[in-house]
Structure 1
Amino acid sequence: MSDLKITKGTLNLPSAAVRLIGDHPLQITASSNRHLLLEVTGQKGDLQMAGRLGDIAIVDLLSFFNMFRKSGALHCALSGGDKTLFFQNGEIVFATSTFAEEEIGETLYGLGMLDREVLQGARQFASGVMTLGKALIDQGVVTSKDLWAATRSQVETIVFNLFAFQEGSFAFFDTRLEEDQVLSLSMNTQNLIMEGLRRVDERAVYMQKVKSLDAIPVATGKVPNDLDSTSQRMLALVQRGVADARELLRRSGAGEFDTLRLLSQLIERGVVAMEEAPTVKVEGVLGE
């Protein structure tokens, strides 16, 4: 980020900041001879804390809010998108994300609850008039129970994926959620932290075997007698043929992390091999 200077009492902000703030009035929340913290006035929830990720790790932030039983919203501005985690008495109860792959429709698709054409149709049907979830329920594509389970999976994925970021900025506001927005997650915040850290480490190990989500899983013909039922279903999907590992992750319905783990185990045992995706020759002259 380029340096900012106050010239004749005027501070010129970067265009990106101006687009975010708009014409809302600002107030100085904190200042010293080394920093100046400005806050938009008249918004819901007061700013309690702000800083840069990297100087403060995600795990330390989440542990702090959990230890001191904080309630509010932690907004993280990251490379490629934003995430907001909502706390109630120190526990994460909801989360939102602007990352496309963490949208509820993509979560439902990733869990194998609908296909791409149905998802696109539901998005057009919703078209700003209603939420995508309500549109899918109204169309009979999913049940309320399906949507609740997918939303819980979505929130946990948003949290788990947050641990992969080492840079960005954060701000914590004392914004409260409405009661009907509060989710009961499958694990408390401390367990989410431990699981998130574990997944970052283990996913890197699994990907060493899988190599790429664009690679094609192929059955080798070897079928051990001691495969559990989940591994057998995974192998059956591979035997029927999938375009690539990414499609296998979606069709398994087990979620990305667990599917990568199972696929990695099948590769390690020689049951599945990964082949490079074939290259496609494009005819013609570039630019035509």
Structure 2
Amino acid sequence: MLRSVLSDFSLGELLRFLEQGRKSGRLLLRPTEQQQTAASSATSEPEWCLFFSNGKIVAATHSSNPKGLQQLIESRGWLRATSLERLLQVRPLTTPLGIYLKEQGILTSEDLQLLFKQQVLTPLPRLFALKEGWFEFSPSSSLPLMEMTGLRASPLSIALTGLRLLEDWTPLLDKLPLATSTLVSAIEGHPPYRLDPQEWQIWEYVNSNLTLEEIAEHLSVAVLEVQKASFRLMVAGLVEEVPKISQEDSTIIEAVPAPIQPPKLLTQQFLQQFLSFLKDS
């Protein structure tokens, strides 16, 4: 079991670790504020559970709504809870709920795509906005079949999509890269994820030593838009933020001087010879 606070690891780093390590299990994320104000949990942000299989995200739920997928299906008028109960009595669930209902002819492949996106895209932007919180990863082969559509996706790809859909960036402003910073590539070759047009434009300036402010000027867009797109690239582990190093910097850089050898002590023989020399002279 891996447990720590989000200040030790960013959510992007955590998702990269799970994806690249092909981990399976449950990632629990909870804001610190909820622990401190348990009495007012009705108004606080719920804890979220993200489920992984071989590094891919397969479901997302939160503690205050343990039947999230069923409610999504019911809210779209596709199947009532009572009807689902009767189905499960006839044929117990041994596969993800989404696959089960598709086999029954109740849901289509397009329906499952829509449900999966709504299920997993909802929490990620809000989780990236957490200022304080803790996480706990429990490796396990047991997955919540009732909360699974049967689909899976790269968590970093989902994070990119979720952040693109985010309308209010206010909670994330203090996490954006500085306008005076530059970007360097953190990978070799081309990005493994599908980038949107603006992200591709910024990717072309990676390793150019241009600041985000200068990139914005070249692209004729607002600096904030470049910062947000750069943040998404950082979350996906594609780039890193570094301070700009000017080639015209006037800072004087000196070589490290050689260590000074301590003076050798005068021997008794040398002193006697020196005294004899003085007498003779």
Fold-level match, TM-score > 0.5? no
Computing the radius of gyration over CA atoms, which structure comes out larger, 1 or 2? 2
The TM-score with structure 1 as length reference comes to 0.39
The TM-score with structure 2 as length reference comes to 0.40
Richer in strand (by share): 1
Q: Which has the higher contact order (CA 8 A, sep 6+)?
A: 2
